[in-house]
Structure 1
Amino acid sequence: MPAPFLYRAWVGASMLLVPFFARREVRKLREAGLPVDRAHEKLGHATEPRNSSGPLIWFHAASVGESLSVLALIDRMGKTLPNAQFLITSGTATSARLLAQRMPLRAVHQFAPLDAPGPLKRFLRHWRPDAAVFVESELWPQMLRRTYEGGAKMALVNARLSEGSIAQWRRFPQTARYIFDVFSLILTQNDAMAGAMVAINAPPERVARGINLKSMAGPLPVDEDLLFEARAALGHRPVWVASSTHDGEEETVLAAHQALLEQIPDLCLILAPRHPERGDAVAAMIAQSGLSMTRRTAGEMPGGQVFLADTMGELGSWYGLSDLVFLGGSLHPIGGHNPFEVAQSGAAVLSGRHVKNFAETYEEMEKIGAARLVDTAEDLAGQVATLIEGEAQRGAMKTAVAAFTAAQTDKLDSIAQRLIKALDLGANG
């Protein structure tokens, strides 16, 4: 298939623009505290060797959510393909740090090269991927075509395009066909997106509905020493967790906790805001509410009426302290956060109703009794009190959570097998 004019124009433009974008991207990574050699991965200069003992499967994602969403899938594929090596690329310093804490076996991380001839040639010459899996909407034209022309089998998973992107692809049907033709398999998040992909000239026989991989991210890491220390500090106090809260939600959570303390005086709230840099602002809210507080960034353990967990990378340990978690980003139209991470800890899930980013996941969990949705501080306090004091209800929710988690694991195994077949990776890699 000949390259359309728009693709050739982008190749020419990228050659002119790469010095500007290279300086910008390297500067961003340097300002985030990364060494210069790692920042130069953006230019295609590898900082890790390619292991030649088996096939290399490359997973490319954009940022934190997309990167973490593929970890469980890589773990499943790695068990079936014991000789395979995995390369994960992403674009942000935050994604690199979080991936470093949760890296699967036989996997390394690099920053994705810029979509220009020089960086891509260096990157592909070093890594020589046998297969490549792209996540969601990371559709850089040269990256896709050059990888394909290098002989790698390719798939797109968790495909999700915005309405604006779909409209743009519709305007250039030849270019869309040229780009999407590289994929042996395109798995979308839902039926509507599968139809949209076909409508913009993705090969219909290669498009199928998959699952939302973000709803099946691998379990959060747990620091067993930290968990032991925190449990010792809490003693026999009952605990509930409010995690991934956003601006405007902490007030509701704190009001609910104040009401709960009248009923359960020794109750401890572990409050983990979504963005730890908001720690000072959240600490001021807690002080204004009149509640006593200990704070993780002050080196403290749970001890007051509220424990402010304003760090990154420790949320899995805090989940280990409670059977009950309220997940933020859901009391206002933010879209909600991933309940599967909570479910994997074995905890019952409470959430607000604004969960469009994980609507299908919450619908399934609510249907089987693994999650409950709330609207107000009074509603939240009522649900927490019912579940803390009602051992039977709490136990029933935990049983439902375990069933939900097992079902998602089966789905993930199915997706892993479809990818292995589509990418011609065989039974043993």
Structure 2
Amino acid sequence: MSRIWHLAATLAVPALRWNLRRRVRLGKEEAARLPEREGHGAARPEGRLLWLHAASVGETLAILPLLDALLARDPALSFLVTTGTATSAQLLPQRLSGELGARVIHRYVPLDVPPWVARFLDGWRPDAACLVESELWPNLLGACAARGIPTALLNARISGRSFRRWRNFGPGLIRRLLGGFSLIVPRSAEDAARLTALGARRLAPAGDLKLAADPLPADPGKLAELRAAIGARPVLLAASTHPGEEELVLAAARELAPRVPDLLTIIVPRHPERGSEIAAAAGAPRRGAGLPPGEGPAYIADTLGELGLFYRLASVALVGGSLIRHGGQNPLEAARLGCPMILGPHMENFADATAALLAAGGARQLPDAAALAGVVADMLSHPERAAGLVAGATRVVSAASDLPGRLAVALLDLLPGKAAGKA
């Protein structure tokens, strides 16, 4: 299987280059940085370098407290952070403090083509590599092993579907890939069981970095402006929505209008480029066009990196991706900001976090989209129930506060000439 993957990736180079150009046209890649996808662009700093790979926005946000903990224990350490999406690349510089920002270099991760991976590793020469969640690329991991680069897998997760595929079609390959890691930290006990069944042996206790992520930031001046524009109106936030959800949210808002006539429904689409389309359908002003909320019933917040503003403004929030069969977006973002939250019936992408929130009384889950208006009305008319949800959610996100420090110590142990750090 390993040889087949190696050959297939090499033969796929023309198709991969075509797809990268297509993604540029779709706004999903940066044309000027396409060479990074082939391993170009190394600019290794002096001293020890830890490489962390976070595929997308959620994983990128999850590693920020870990980076802070690592820098606190080893101020001379430099970081190479790779991601696979343009959105995460744009977001990362916004979330780095001055001191940490000076130690972090961002590149796009090379695709898993043997010469591209070799060029990347030979140029950067990381002292250790840390992959987040389920980034198991055979050529990349094999090249790390060949160069003696220690590797760690954090927030390691294996979905039921992936587990069945690996077990049925690549048991030898996945056993070898997992066996090459010096450290594996499963996201949950369920993930630990699946990883063990697939051949992982060096498993640390489970821990979810997304539970320990920092609250989404908000510019104080912009927050004050929005609060002044909204006034005392109650706010229903639909956060990180996907196609098909906006219509359901707006229908619920229309149903609520007789009971809550001053309700403002704010929609934050997961992909800001959809803002114009949503605003046209809703007849609503759009933040991406520089417009403030008006006196109308809806507002479209189609800007990047401002979700923290709107969670702070919301009276109640629906976590997007959950009214349709997408699997849900991260509910912990609302939990960390003390925002009472509603979850749709489809939260498979965050099953463990959802189960923890529901068990702690930190969220309400809908049986279907038709129930949205009634649940929102109930929460707006009974603030004590909303406060109970906030208290339960706070207990959940407080449980992993020491995780970044523990993981930082474990990762520093992988580095040559490790600095003496404190847990």
TM-score (norm 2): 0.85
Q: Percent identity between the aligned chains?
A: 41
Measure how far apart 1:353 and its partner are: 2.3
Residue 33 and residue 16 in structure 1: after superposition, are their counterparts in 2 closer, same or farther (change >3 A)? closer
Q: Distance in 2 between matches of 1:372 and 1:172?
A: 39
Aligned partner of 2:291 among 284, 294, 300 = 300
Q: Distance in 1 between matches of 2:279 and 2:32?
A: 38
Aligned partner of 1:359 among 343, 347, 351 = 351
Contact 2:327 2:346 in 1 (8 A): yes
**Structure 1 residue aligned with 2:150:** 153
Measure how far apart 1:110 and its partner are: 0.4
Aligned partner of 1:250 among 246, 249, 261 = 246
Residue 398 and residue 174 in structure 1: after superposition, are their counterparts in 2 closer, same or farther (change >3 A)? closer
Please report the RMSD computed on the Cα atoms of aligned residues, expressed in angstroms: 3.1
Residue 46 and residue 385 in structure 1: after superposition, are their counterparts in 2 closer, same or farther (change >3 A)? same
Letter in structure 2 aligned against 1:368: A
**Structure 1 residue aligned with 2:16:** 21
Q: Distance in 1 between matches of 2:373 and 2:229?
A: 24
Residue 388 and residue 22 in structure 1: after superposition, are their counterparts in 2 closer, same or farther (change >3 A)? same
- Does residue 347 in structure 1 map to residue 343 in structure 2? no
Residue 237 and residue 111 in structure 1: after superposition, are their counterparts in 2 closer, same or farther (change >3 A)? same
Residue 75 and residue 324 in structure 1: after superposition, are their counterparts in 2 closer, same or farther (change >3 A)? farther
Aligned partner of 2:231 among 230, 235, 238 = 235
Measure how far apart 1:183 and its partner are: 0.6
SS of the aligned residue for 1:145 comes to helix
Letter in structure 2 aligned against 1:97: Q
**Structure 2 residue aligned with 1:58:** 51
- Does residue 336 in structure 1 map to residue 328 in structure 2? yes
Gaps of 5+ in 2: none
Residue 261 and residue 405 in structure 1: after superposition, are their counterparts in 2 closer, same or farther (change >3 A)? same
Measure how far apart 1:176 and its partner are: 3.8
Letter in structure 1 aligned against 2:275: G
TM-score (norm 1): 0.84
Aligned partner of 2:180 among 179, 182, 206 = 182
Measure how far apart 1:44 and its partner are: 1.8
Aligned partner of 1:262 among 235, 258, 267 = 258
Measure how far apart 1:373 and its partner are: 1.5
Measure how far apart 1:209 and its partner are: 5.0
Aligned partner of 2:41 among 43, 46, 52 = 46
Letter in structure 1 aligned against 2:389: M
Gaps of 5+ in 1: 1-5, 288-292
Q: Distance in 1 between matches of 2:26 and 2:196?
A: 41
Measure how far apart 1:400 and its partner are: 3.1
Counterparts of 1:79-94 in structure 2, within 5 Å, are 79-94=72-87
Counterparts of 1:21-420 in structure 2, within 5 Å, are 21-22=16-17, 24-25=19-20, 28-29=23-24, 32=27, 38-46=33-41, 49-53=43-47, 55-103=48-96, 105=100, 106-162=103-159, 163-164=161-162, 166-168=164-166, 171-202=169-200, 204=201, 206-287=202-283, 293-303=284-294, 304-376=296-368, 379-420=371-412
Q: Deviations over 1:127-171 (max 9, x none)?
A: 221111112222222311222333322111222335356544655
Q: Distance in 1 between matches of 2:369 and 2:4?
A: 55
Contact 1:216 1:340 in 2 (8 A): no
Q: Distance in 1 between matches of 2:55 and 2:172?
A: 25
Measure how far apart 1:314 and its partner are: 1.9
Q: Distance in 1 between matches of 2:171 and 2:386?
A: 53
Letter in structure 1 aligned against 2:356: E
Measure how far apart 1:285 and its partner are: 4.1
Residue 174 and residue 122 in structure 1: after superposition, are their counterparts in 2 closer, same or farther (change >3 A)? same
Q: Deviations over 1:6-49 (max 9, x none)?
A: 435554555555465346436644774866552211222226x3
Residue 375 and residue 364 in structure 1: after superposition, are their counterparts in 2 closer, same or farther (change >3 A)? same
Residue 409 and residue 177 in structure 1: after superposition, are their counterparts in 2 closer, same or farther (change >3 A)? same
Q: Deviations over 1:330-366 (max 9, x none)?
A: 1233211101111222211111122122122122222
Contact 1:22 1:43 in 2 (8 A): no
Contact 1:245 1:328 in 2 (8 A): yes
Q: Distance in 1 between matches of 2:7 and 2:349?
A: 37
Q: Distance in 1 between matches of 2:11 and 2:192?
A: 36
